[in-house]
Structure 1
Amino acid sequence: MSFLTEETVYCPYCGEPIEVLLDPQEAGQHYTEDCQVCCKPIVFSVTEDAMGSLSVTVRDENETY
């Protein structure tokens, strides 16, 4: 059974806080969503550590890894 984890991230453009739900099935995935405030595209990267904890990082669309 997968449990969703809630985390707060901040838009890399406008700095507005965004609540996201992380699904363990998304670990290792990258996806793009528009900011709900400034409508610019944010790239989300979901990772899982060795203990099974999920985390998400965000970056603007033009930022390189």
Structure 2
Amino acid sequence: MQTTAEYYCAFCGEPNTTFVDISGGMQQSYIEDCQVCCRPNILYVRFDEDTLEVEIDSDYES
């Protein structure tokens, strides 16, 4: 099951929308380029087990 979520780029601060796949587990991390500045962000994705709400934190990829 896929859903969309929003995160803010760690470099430029602009909002980005990404697809997240719940079947990948309740905690995931992967790298995705910002749609605005094209710099790589490490995304840390967590799902609430009860509501399936998505929370994403982004960090710098060096």
Q: Which runs of 5+ in 1 are unaligned?
A: none
- RMSD across aligned C-alpha pairs, in angstroms? 1.8
Displacement of 1:52 after TM fit?
4.7
On the 8 A contact 2:6/2:56 being kept in 1, the answer is no
Classify the secondary structure of the residue corresponding to 1:25. Answer: helix
Identity %: 35
Name the larger-Rg structure. Answer: 1
Whichever residue aligns with residue 30 of structure 2, its letter is: Y
Task: Look up the match of 1:58.
Answer: 58
Give the structure with the higher percent strand: 2
Letter in 1 for 2:38: C
Query: After TM superposition, what 4+ stretches of structure 1 lie above 4 angstroms from structure 2?
Result: none
**Uncovered stretches (5+) of structure 2, i.e. residues with no partner:** none
Does residue 7 (structure 1) correspond to residue 5 (structure 2)? The answer is: yes
After TM superposition, the structure 1 stretch with the greater mean CA deviation from structure 2, 45-54 or 15-24, is 45-54
TM-score, with length taken from structure 2: 0.73
Offset from partner CA, 1:3-60 (integer Å, 9 cap, x none): x222211111101110112210233221111212212110011212231513222111
